[in-house]
Amino acid sequence: MPDEPVSAYKWKVEQPQDQSGGPGLDAKLDPIANWTQLEFWEDGKPFLKEYEGRGLLKDKKVLITGGDSGIGRAVGVLMAREGADIGFTYLPEEEEDAKKTVKMIEDAGREAHAMTCNLLEANAAKSAVDEFVKEFGQINVLVNNAARQESCEDIADSDLEVTQKTFQLNIISMFAVTKYAIKHMKRGDCIVNSASVAGYMGNPILLDYSSTKGAIVTFTRALAQQQGPKGIRVNAVAPGIIWTPLQPATKGNPPEAMKGLGVNMQPLPRPGQPVEVATAYVYLASPLASFATGECIHINGGIETQG
């Protein structure tokens, strides 16, 4: 029924939004995203309640690439509430978001370390890992989350420099960060990679982005087989349409495209919130997922149900 509540979240974007060219900022989203509140239902009515940790990641050291905003921020804050110390990378232009994320982690009673880092630059991956290890001494959980996308209607009009840039950040830098981080990980540690529903469904205006996300799924499966004997689990999460700065910051997306984002999707007609995805990362990083490796969890509101 149309009069029944769809969600307790601010599920509908009413205003055009333009952060084209990026990087996008959480601080500029309208409505603001939700990073920490879970949706509960009672008597057919939804309400929100703050995520409460229970020590699933007590004293773990977590490195997140692209952790200043969106899904990365939600993952960092929820893992901090589970007892982890968090280090994350961000671009200089994202300093406003990074400062807020640091505060949210510290408010959870854990240590936060923000690292300015452009993973498109040579040696950036090694420098970030080295800085993290200098700060925390070890890496227990690696979350490969940094990514970019630009839209293009037709491959004939595509810019190969943009394609190369997208592959460089989304998958090549993931290889690089993992290469350097794995040396500081031991039996019982784990990796969680950010894939996408686009890696399974494809997206006709995001050819290069879709391709990199498909590559990440295969990277996850192969790396899980390689590192399994060492006791290091490797999994991924494939989000659908989530209300993060990546949406309005996507070059080629008109501002009007943000209005009603996701409301025509079925069976859950709304964009997801970062917190709704972040819980999957917490699960995969925790003892709850001790027998899970090489897996990809789909959090997309049901728009794609392929395994």
Per the listing, tokens 């982005």 go with 209
Q: State the pLDDT confidence band at 283, using cuts at 50, 70 and 90.
A: very high
Nearest CA-CA partner of 11 in 42, 32, 36: 32
Q: Which residues are catalytic?
A: 209
Q: Establish if 306 belongs to a structural domain.
A: no
Q: Which amino acid is at 262?
A: G
pLDDT for position 95: 96
Average pLDDT over residues 278-282: 98
pLDDT for position 252: 77
Tell how strand 85-90 and strand 45-50 pair up. Answer: unpaired
Q: Establish if 254 belongs to a structural domain.
A: yes
Q: Establish if 70 belongs to a structural domain.
A: yes
pLDDT for position 306: 57
Question: C-alpha 133: how far from its chain's center?
Answer: 22
Return d(Cα 189, Cα 196) in angstroms, integer: 23
For residue 266, count other CB atoms closer than 10 A to its CB: 8
Q: Judge whether residue 9 has pLDDT over 90.
A: yes
Token pair for 40: 């509960």
- Residues composing the chain: 307
Q: Establish if 223 belongs to a structural domain.
A: yes
Domain of 261: which CATH number? 3.40.50.720
Look up the domain containing 65 and give its range.
Answer: 26-299
For residue 260, count other CB atoms closer than 10 A to its CB: 14
Q: Establish if 51 belongs to a structural domain.
A: yes
Return d(Cα 129, Cα 13) in angstroms, integer: 37
Q: Establish if 117 belongs to a structural domain.
A: yes
Q: Which amino acid is at 192?
A: V
Tens of pLDDT along 96-107?
999 999 999 999
Q: Establish if 13 belongs to a structural domain.
A: no
State the DSSP code for 242: B
Domain count, the chain: 1
Q: Establish if 198 belongs to a structural domain.
A: yes
Q: Is the peptide bond before 267 cis (omega within 30 degrees of 0)?
A: yes
Question: C-alpha 126: how far from its chain's center?
Answer: 21
Q: Judge whether residue 268 has pLDDT over 80.
A: yes
Nearest CA-CA partner of 45 in 98, 7, 99: 7
Q: Reduced to 3 DSSP states, what percent helix, strand and coil does the chain have, rounded to the nearest 5?
A: 40, 15, 45
Residue 106 CA: distances (Å) to CA of 67, 79, 83, 121, 134: 14, 12, 11, 29, 19
Return d(Cα 179, Cα 304) in angstroms, integer: 31
Return d(Cα 88, Cα 64) in angstroms, integer: 5
Model's pTM, two decimal places? 0.96
Average pLDDT over the chain, rounded to an integer = 94
Average pLDDT over residues 78-86: 99
Q: Judge whether residue 1 has pLDDT over 50.
A: no
